[in-house]
Structure 1
Amino acid sequence: MKLLFSLLALVGGMAIAFQAQINGGLGKKVGAIEGALISFLIGSLTLLLVVIFFGKGNLSAATTVPKWQLLGGVLGAVYVFIMVFTVPKIGVAPTLVAVIAGQLVIGAIIDHFGLLGGTQIPIDGRKIIAILLLFVSLFLFNKK
């Protein structure tokens, strides 16, 4: 089952790479902020249709969650804007290496301390080495 979820995440990563290039091109034509807005609007409409036809949850329960849990949309908008702005300047691969480095550093901290209600998974030497190697990769991708 772990392999299935890892493969699903791999497909998600592939989708993000395509999305980065597509949104970067959109941003060059309409502006970075405008491109991010268009991307989010189309994504929101897509999710609305998915909820209408397949949703089984309870949207009204969103009013009962802690307000900080609603920040995911804000963070998603920040991410999309940064991708639209950055990809045309440095390319998809260097941008994604930087994004992944940021995700792994913060992800390791969140796991280590069990932040935001997550399971506590201590960081160890292997994970630290992996993160350091990712930063070496980031350096190599951006070295001229």
Structure 2
Amino acid sequence: MKFLYILLALLGGMMAGIQAPINGSLGKKIGSVEGAFTSFFIGTLFLTFFVLFFGKGQIAHLFQVPKWNLLGGLLGALFVTFVILCVPNVGVALTIFAAIVGQMVISIIIDHFGLFGVEKIPMNASRLLGLGLMLAALFFIYRGSVSS
């Protein structure tokens, strides 16, 4: 069953990779913040339909969750805005890989300390080496992206 979730995460990552140049192009045509707004508006329309027809009726519990649980939307909006700003300036590959490295850095910190209620997974040599290799890869992708 874990394999299915890994495939879903892989598919989600591929969607983010496709979303970046689409949103970058949109942002160049209508403005970065306007592009982010449009992207989230279309997403909101889709999710509204999805909740109405496939939701489990738990939306009323929204007012009972800790307020920090509501930051995900803000963080998602900032992420999309940052990607829209970066893609036209540094390219899709460098933008997405830098974002992934950023996600890995914060994810390892979150795991290590068990932040936000997740299970603690301590830092170890394998995780540190993997992160170091990703940082090295980011450097080489950056170098390969710089005009000669």
TM-score for the superposition, normalised by structure 2? 0.95
SS of the residue 2:122 aligns to: coil
Counterpart residue number, 2:138: 138
Give 1:121 deviation, angstroms.
Answer: 0.7
Counterpart residue number, 1:71: 71
For 1:10, give the aligned amino acid. Answer: L
Give 1:6 deviation, angstroms.
Answer: 0.5
Deviation per CA, 1:33-90: give whole Å up to 9, x if none. 0000000000011000000110014111010011011000000000000011101111
SS of the residue 1:27 aligns to: helix
SS of the residue 1:142 aligns to: helix
Percent identical pairs in the alignment equals: 50
The gaps in structure 2 that reach 5 residues or longer are none
For 1:104, give the aligned amino acid. Answer: M
Counterpart residue number, 1:116: 116
Counterpart residue number, 2:102: 102
Counterpart residue number, 2:53: 53
Deviation per CA, 1:76-133: give whole Å up to 9, x if none. 0000000111011111110111001110010000001100111111111011011111
For 2:122, give the aligned amino acid. Answer: P
Counterpart residue number, 2:86: 86
Mapped to 2, the partners of 1:5 and 1:69 lie a distance apart of 22
Mapped to 1, the partners of 2:102 and 2:117 lie a distance apart of 20
The gaps in structure 1 that reach 5 residues or longer are none
Give 1:20 deviation, angstroms.
Answer: 0.4
Counterpart residue number, 1:3: 3
The count of aligned residue pairs is 144
SS of the residue 2:119 aligns to: coil
TM-score for the superposition, normalised by structure 1? 0.98
